[in-house]
Structure 1
Amino acid sequence: MQAEQAGVAIPTHPSLTAVFQTLDRSGPWLLLRGEEDLIRPSGDVDILVSKAQLPGLDSLLKAAGFARVLAPGHGSHRFYFNYSRADDLWLKLDIVSDISFGTNQQWKTSFAGRCLDARTRRGHIWLPAAADQAWLQLLHLFLDKGEIVPARAELALQAGNFASAEDDLARRIDRYVGPGSAVELLNVVRSGNFDGVPAVSARLSAAWTARSVLSTTVRRDVSRVLRTVSPVLQDKPGRGLAVGVMGPDGAGKTSLLRSLSDTLPVSGKYVYMGLWSAGPWDDLLRRIPGGRLAKKVVRILGGSFDARYQRLFGCVVLLDRVPHDARLPGSIDNSLGGRISAALALALAPEPDVLLVLDAPGEMMFARKGEHSVEVLEEWRRAYLDLAKGLRGAAVLDASQPQDSVRRTATAIVWNAVVGGATSRYSHANPRKERV
């Protein structure tokens, strides 16, 4: 039975409000914890849904601006992310369809159906019934955390004083781990002496495991192994996202890509695709017929294979330079070797789904790196802008702004491509100038 709970509406970030409204249309759901931290959440937003909602959940949440990230080894947990450029904030949903405990979700329960049936509503948010919420909080502290740290002491005392050994979840706990277990847990919490929590936690854990040693151990060990796999995109099966950056030397290409790699909530693979950088063997290669061409071919093959391999497994591939650079005035090499290397690069390197073109005044780029001259850099700047007009997925960024502002704009563009489809916003021939 669903109940309506009176009270002031809970302040919520607009993107989370959209999620809650979307979930209302899809089936029963509730916020497991953290209702006091929804304006700018400091951690995951934990939500319980019914199993019947899972098949359509990815598309529903994508419509609300959240893309799924696959992170194996977390039981029924599904993770969805949204980036708010205005707040420079990543919002993370942690959605489950059952309630399990333990650091590897190894202790399963039958609580989910009960909690959804007894949920209460506060404003636009569904919450567990008060007694259920108290017990879920206590089990989270005892089984997931194994201790009650000072910062959680008041929360634990509130839950302990509200919970009762006569509650439905208390009786279920006794069935799982033995008569009197719920009372023992409550007595420790109500005493205010939390030094005894680890011992009670260990007894509860051992008793829960003893109910089904094999399945519990298998779930725990499989989870540990799977968690070594890096998180990847869940967009199209076997397909990640290629993000390329173009611009003259000093525009900030490498710095931007490095910051994106640190910022994105998925595995970001940096791949340098430049063909003309100097190397320690250049003098020797110049003396060998075809030596420099061989170097370019090896670089093309290595970079292209690396980028395609990482993209195949759902990574965001961050391409420092793209083969289109070979079409710039001054870079065109009409020799046989030049034509071969350019053709190979264009044929083998992955086409960027998103192409970020960094634009800054020549004097600024010269001040940053001290290479070439202001006049040369200005000429290249115009050439890059002209080239970008005919390239799919291109967005021009004002790279004269502070690096943090450029990163925020680039992050929003990349994540919009993930959420909305890589070509949904930047597929036109003429690139749009993005304000930073």
Structure 2
Amino acid sequence: MTTRRAKGMLITLSGIDGTGKSAMVGCIRDTLLSKWGAPSRYVWCKFGDHPFSRLKIAQRAKRRPAASPPEPHHTRRTPSLPLRVYGSLLLILHMAQIVISVRRPLKRGEVVVCDRYIFDTIVDLAHDLHCSVARAEKLCGARWIPQPDVRFLLDLPGEIAFARKDDSYSAARLEERRALYLSIAPAHQLTMVDARQPFDQVARQITGAVEAQYAQGIAQ
């Protein structure tokens, strides 16, 4: 049976690489389709890696020696002018993607499921482009940016995440990024999910919250 909401719905999954976001996207979409007859739109919404740009800002962080001690984020140097220009260009392209791939479908009443979103962009700006968290939040805080109906943060220690997916950042860098996610989670009301749990438990927690929110939209 097909049961449609009166308006669109935005679901986002955030977290460091290796937490299982992509797998959870599949669970969410399958659940909405099988139980509610609701198709959904999948959006890969990673800053610096989208249909408008294949530039990978993370390469800068990956090339840093793993043995070098991380700089505290409150003491990191001011980004150079070329880096600021580069970051600004990527941010413009990223916002254009959000308009086309997220905002417009929501206005048409579609369900959109994002693998990464502006919360991940805040972390990318702070970690990879040496932007302060406050500045990154301001850049990603425009009122026109759609706010998720359900927003998850899949949390996992860096070492475990690296063991699951070792083709990204080092375990130490993943732990740096994890700390940034945890620092912004309360202010952005991210629903914490312990990704150390068995897959089925994580899936039940996430799909249960999504179904509850979807049903609430129907009731309204």
TM-score normalised per structure 2: 0.68
Q: Please give the alpha-carbon distance, in whole angstroms, between the structure 2 residues aligned to 1:294 and 1:379.
A: 25
Is the CA contact 1:258–1:270 (under 8 Å) kept in the aligned structure 2?
no
Equivalence for 2:11: 243
- Find the residue that maps to 1:244 and give its secondary structure: strand
Q: Do residues 256 (structure 1) and 51 (structure 2) align?
A: no
Which structure has the greater CA radius of gyration? 1
Query: Which residue of structure 2 aligns with residue 407 of structure 1?
Result: 203
Secondary structure (helix, strand or coil) at the match of 2:42 reads: strand
Provide, for residues 275-303 of structure 1, a one-character-per-residue CA deviation record: whole Å limited to 9, x for no partner: 12386567xxxx9x956644442232123
Indicate how the Cα distance of structure 1 residues 273 and 349 shifts in structure 2: closer, same or farther if over 3 A, else same: farther
Map 1:75-224 to 2 at 5 A.
none
- SS of the equivalent of 2:164 reads helix
Judged with a 3 Å threshold, the aligned counterparts in structure 2 of structure 1 residues 296 and 269 are, in CA distance, closer, same or farther, namely same
* Structure 2 CA distance for aligned equivalents of residues 269 and 253 of structure 1: 15
Identity of aligned residues (%): 29
Partner residue of 2:104?
309
- Output aligned runs, 1:343-358, within 5 Å: 343=139, 345-347=140-142, 348-358=144-154
2:39 is the alignment partner of 1:271:
no
Which amino acid counterpart does residue 389 of structure 1 have in structure 2? P
Change (3 A) 1:341 1:274: farther
State the match for 1:369 in structure 2.
165
Following the alignment from structure 1 to structure 2, what is the Cα–Cα distance between the partners of residues 280 and 327?
19
Q: Deviations over 1:394-433 (max 9, x none)?
A: 21111122333322211100111122359xxxxxxxxxxx
Tell me, yes or no, if the aligned pair for 1:271 and 1:317 is still in contact at 8 Å: yes
> Is the contact between residue 271 and residue 303 of structure 1 (CA under 8 Å) also seen in structure 2?
no
* CA contact 2:10–2:112 (8 Å) conserved in 1: yes
SS of structure 2 residue aligned to 1:317: strand
- Counterpart residue type for residue 321 of structure 1: R
User: How well do the aligned residues superpose, as a CA RMSD in angstroms?
Assistant: 3.2
**TM-score (ref. length: structure 1):** 0.37
Aligned to 1:390: 187
Unpaired stretches in structure 2, ≥5 consecutive residues: 57-81
Amino acid across the alignment from 1:367: A
